[in-house]
Structure 1
Amino acid sequence: MLLAILTLLVGLVVLIVGGELLVRGAVRVAERAGMSQMLIGLTIVGFGTSSPELVASIEAALAGSPGIAWGNIAGSNLANSLLILGVASIIFPLAVLRGQLWRDGGLALIITAALWYIANNGGITVAIGFGFLAIMGVYLGYVYWAEKKYHITDTAVHEKAEALELADTHLHMDQPIWRSVLVLFAGIALIILGGKWLVESAIDLARMIGMSEAVIGLTVIAIGTSLPELVTSVIAAYKKASAVALGNILGSNIFNLLLIGGITAIVSPGSIPVEISSFSLPLLVAASILLLILAATGRKITRWEGAVLLIVYLGQLLYSLTAI
């Protein structure tokens, strides 16, 4: 068991480091290739910062463990909406932009509710996976169009890129292109290797301690792969960039649901484990509604409201580990 735990931790660290290197290298290569900052933020930053969750879910799906894959998706969004948002709000109350809240938070709520319905009515199909990816494409197209034509910059994807810049002061260091390419490929290699170690050790650990793979995905893997988002959101809150902190969380939720959920559905269609469909997804719907209510009533998420979110997360975490 000790070896499985150690391998899981090493895999998690390698996965996160690989994701960081992937984003750094890809952004620098894209800049040298003449890509606009807007396109870099929409594509490379958005996809790259979600790479730990993406690789972990794909590895789990390919390994025949959809419970880990879907547990990681639902668990990561719970961590984003309750744990990370709660911690960030305690550090500095998060002001909420109405357009960002209803557009991005509303989209995340609708997709979560749809996933919950699908999970209890026939399960996930390849067609649903492609549908999720199509919605992701339409959303990114809308963000690009709105930002270019109307200079709307409060979208979750834009704030996700801003959060990364706040957290990583070395992102745009001037360095030779060959070094950026090397960093990019090193990142790709590390996330693949780290994801493989993480999933294999998680499967072994679940069998050893008699815990379902879905719970492992909901807890250990979800928290681990959400650590980069926690760091960037906390730094944004500490720097009083509250809109950036909230947008980073909403953007992560959208990418997790549509991009990672869509690819997972294509790779491993079928039923979603009951632990997720009967508890985690309805809780995620409730958390999304709670977020809209908290933000709409006061136009900001206060410290005590952040404490409530954090308490709810710790409560569901304890329930997942003991009752499911």
Structure 2
Amino acid sequence: MFILLGIVGGFIALIGGGELLVRGASNLAAAARVSPLIIGLTVVAFGTSAPELAVALQSCYAGKTGLAVGNAVGSNISNLLLILGISALAAPLAVNVRMFRIDIPAMIVAAVLLWVFGLSGSISRIEGLFCCVLLVAYFTFTIRQGRRESAVATSESLIAESEITYDPRTSTWGGVVMDIVKLVIGLALLVGGANLLVDACVKLAQGFGVSDLVIGLTVVAIGTSLPELVTSLMASLRGQRDLAVGNVVGSNILNILLVLGLSAMVAPTGIAVDAQSMHFDIPFLIVISLAAVPIFFSGFGITRIEGGAMLLYYVAYLAYLVWHAGRPAGTVTPISELLMFLAPIVPLVVLVILFRPRKTS
């Protein structure tokens, strides 16, 4: 009975939190005269990355630093395939052209940087500090660029382009305070609802005899991405497509530069990067991040068909994780197996480029 209440209560908190967060973020974007994309890349992404940060820091304090990398990388893969896939199925997503110049390259650089740092077997405190400095530089540039673009455009054209429903109350201090309250309450409900739902699902899975390893690879990995999923889905359904995509890309940048960077600084000897992550999970993350560029650019968006393909690929990824978990401990994915798993991405990207005309305006 308590498990059922936990699942229902978790879903209610997630939906309510996502609605409040999107409303508050959209109104703040209108009040600050910046696009929802900037809010999604910064404020919303920071809030929805809170579960990953909490899991990583708790893992470091418990001496299980390897969990921090696995959780961050798994969450980033979930963001790109599961969250964007479901959001695109709900409503086709649009990708702002600025993301191709700044944000998507930053997401790819962060993933490659993680792989480079992991070559030594761990991320040191100095490397963690470097990640945090990069994040501060990225945030500073993003906010300044957003305000500069807003100054060039008129308020009316910016609001129309960003699909914001302008509320006159956001121009008053009272309206701004209320929107900040909505955003904070929304974040709290998202994080609390995710924790409640994950705890209930873990207990349910344990009741059916599912192993802790499989639970960690599936329920917990998806559970820490629930705030991003609900936020992007609600934003997509409400027509805030820039916020939906910006939340995912911004969260992916934060999960590496902030979550792993700060964790490496907190851990006495840095955080460990295991061989399996270096041979499979991180290269897989880099490849799907690179594959996102031509898919997004071919039409400046993600269609429902592409969203469905991304979702199916994520299911295949989960199936592989469960299958690999049954191997003897310490087994590392060979390069041939990784290449076979990545092979379907190439024809998918080629088909998208060839058969979907690029948007020219």
Answer whether contact 1:136 1:259 (CA < 8 A) is retained.
Answer: yes
Question: Is residue 2:228 matched to residue 1:246?
Answer: no
Partner of 2:316: 315
**For each residue in 1:207-258, what CA deviation from the matched residue of structure 2 results, as whole angstroms up to 9, or x when unmatched?**
x97655xx76553222101111111111222233322221111111111111
TM-score (normalizing by structure 2): 0.65
Answer whether contact 1:69 1:217 (CA < 8 A) is retained.
Answer: no
Cα 1:112–1:66, aligned 2, differ >3 Å: closer, same or farther? same
Partner of 2:221: 222
Question: Is residue 2:307 matched to residue 1:306?
Answer: yes
**For each residue in 1:286-313, what CA deviation from the matched residue of structure 2 results, as whole angstroms up to 9, or x when unmatched?**
1111111211223221111111111110
Alignment partners' CA distance in 1, 2:278 and 2:316: 18
Partner of 2:333: none
C-alpha RMSD of matched pairs (Å): 4.6
Alignment partners' CA distance in 2, 1:152 and 1:64: 48
Partner of 1:256: 255
Alignment partners' CA distance in 2, 1:230 and 1:255: 16
Partner of 1:48: 47
Partner of 2:56: 57
Alignment partners' CA distance in 2, 1:43 and 1:136: 11
Q: Secondary structure at the match of 2:123?
A: coil
Cα 1:117–1:89, aligned 2, differ >3 Å: closer, same or farther? same
Answer whether contact 1:95 1:300 (CA < 8 A) is retained.
Answer: yes
Answer whether contact 1:67 1:217 (CA < 8 A) is retained.
Answer: no
1:145 aligned partner, one-letter code: R
Cα 1:71–1:173, aligned 2, differ >3 Å: closer, same or farther? farther
Answer whether contact 2:42 2:250 (CA < 8 A) is retained.
Answer: no
Partner of 1:118: 117
**For each residue in 1:146-203, what CA deviation from the matched residue of structure 2 results, as whole angstroms up to 9, or x when unmatched?**
12233289xxxxxxxx99x99xxxx99979x9xx99x979x88x979x97xx89x98x
Query: When the two structures are aligned, how many residues end up with a matched partner?
Result: 296
Partner of 2:78: 79
2:98 aligned partner, one-letter code: G
**For each residue in 1:257-291, what CA deviation from the matched residue of structure 2 results, as whole angstroms up to 9, or x when unmatched?**
11111112222314212332222111111111111
Q: Secondary structure at the match of 2:272?
A: coil
Structure label with greater radius of gyration: 2
Cα 1:122–1:150, aligned 2, differ >3 Å: closer, same or farther? same
Cα 1:173–1:57, aligned 2, differ >3 Å: closer, same or farther? farther
**1:186-197 aligned within 5 A:** none
Partner of 2:236: 237
Answer whether contact 1:53 1:73 (CA < 8 A) is retained.
Answer: yes
**1:155-234 aligned within 5 A:** 218-234=217-233
Alignment partners' CA distance in 1, 2:90 and 2:103: 23
Partner of 1:275: 276
Answer whether contact 1:94 1:246 (CA < 8 A) is retained.
Answer: yes
TM-score (normalizing by structure 1): 0.71
Alignment partners' CA distance in 2, 1:298 and 1:111: 25
Q: Secondary structure at the match of 1:298?
A: coil
Alignment partners' CA distance in 1, 2:191 and 2:95: 34
Answer whether contact 1:71 1:217 (CA < 8 A) is retained.
Answer: no
Which runs of no fewer than 5 residues in structure 2 stay unpaired? 153-161, 326-361
Q: Tell me by how many angstroms 1:9 deviates.
A: 7.7
Which runs of no fewer than 5 residues in structure 1 stay unpaired? 154-161
Question: Is residue 2:80 matched to residue 1:94?
Answer: no
Q: Tell me by how many angstroms 1:120 deviates.
A: 2.7
Q: Identity rate of aligned residues, in percent?
A: 32
2:148 aligned partner, one-letter code: K
Cα 1:61–1:191, aligned 2, differ >3 Å: closer, same or farther? farther
Alignment partners' CA distance in 1, 2:216 and 2:274: 11
Partner of 2:108: 109
Answer whether contact 1:70 1:272 (CA < 8 A) is retained.
Answer: yes
Alignment partners' CA distance in 1, 2:285 and 2:315: 14
2:291 aligned partner, one-letter code: L
Cα 1:286–1:48, aligned 2, differ >3 Å: closer, same or farther? same
Cα 1:86–1:184, aligned 2, differ >3 Å: closer, same or farther? closer
Deviates further, 276-285 or 313-322: 276-285
Partner of 2:351: none
Partner of 1:157: none
**For each residue in 1:16-74, what CA deviation from the matched residue of structure 2 results, as whole angstroms up to 9, or x when unmatched?**
79x98xx89x99xxx9xxx9687x95865443332122112111121122232222111
Partner of 2:132: 133
Q: Secondary structure at the match of 1:317?
A: helix
1:120 aligned partner, one-letter code: L
Alignment partners' CA distance in 1, 2:259 and 2:286: 18
**For each residue in 1:123-166, what CA deviation from the matched residue of structure 2 results, as whole angstroms up to 9, or x when unmatched?**
2100111111001100111012112233289xxxxxxxx99x99
Answer whether contact 1:71 1:216 (CA < 8 A) is retained.
Answer: no
1:127 aligned partner, one-letter code: I
